[in-house]
Amino acid sequence: MRTRREFCVHAVSFVTLASLVESCGGSPTSSGGGSNFPALSVLNGTSAGNAVTLAVNAGSPLATVGNAALVQAGAGNFLVARTGQDTFTALTAVCTHEGCTITRYQSSTYGCPCHGSEFSTSGAVKSGPASTSLRQFSTQFVNNVLTISLS
């Protein structure tokens, strides 16, 4: 049978250990910041040469200004947001903190599900731990086809 003193020593040790794990961020998938945002819709793009193309029709998540999607193509994964009637931004979907794929979006902000970094639709860091902006690619929108230039 344990004494009250032994119980208290073990309880204090457990609480101390729990607070240390929490302050270190826990697991690499621990939630925080952008990791609590809704998941992005995933679209498939077509890679050809130094470009990725994607049809944007009325049923596409990108049909409405303010929406975004994760575009997957042979050339990589891209975050695409419709910022105007005929304008889009395209960014690398690789978080600059530890290389996780960014898969979340809310209110013009992308969120990394791994450590909670947040980025604007221009790629700028809104909150860390990431400290470097996402790479941005030029886009062109003609006849309901979005072209992302990789060069």
My answer on whether 15 and 62 are in the same domain is no
pTM of the model: 0.76
My answer on whether 23 and 35 are in the same domain is no
pLDDT number for residue 32: 55
List all residues 6 or more positions away from 121 whose beta carbon is below 8 Å from its beta carbon.
68, 81, 83, 89, 91, 108, 109, 110
Categorize the per-residue pLDDT at 33 as very low, low, confident or very high, splitting at 50, 70 and 90: low
Categorize the per-residue pLDDT at 35 as very low, low, confident or very high, splitting at 50, 70 and 90: low
My answer on whether 73 and 132 are in the same domain is yes
My answer on whether 49 and 112 are in the same domain is yes
Instruction: Tell me if 75 sits within 8 A of 147, measured CB to CB.
Output: no
Higher pLDDT, 126 or 5: 126
My answer on whether 69 and 17 are in the same domain is no
Domain with 104 in it: what CATH number? 2.102.10.10
Instruction: Tell me if 35 sits within 8 A of 104, measured CB to CB.
Output: yes
Site of tokens 């902000």: 109
Judged by average pLDDT, the poorest of 13-22, 48-57, 83-92 is: 13-22
- Indicate if the pLDDT at residue 27 is higher than 80: no
Residue-range definition of the domain harbouring residue 23: 1-27
What is the percentage of the chain residues whose pLDDT exceeds 70? 77
My answer on whether 22 and 41 are in the same domain is no
Higher pLDDT, 30 or 23: 30
My answer on whether 83 and 98 are in the same domain is yes
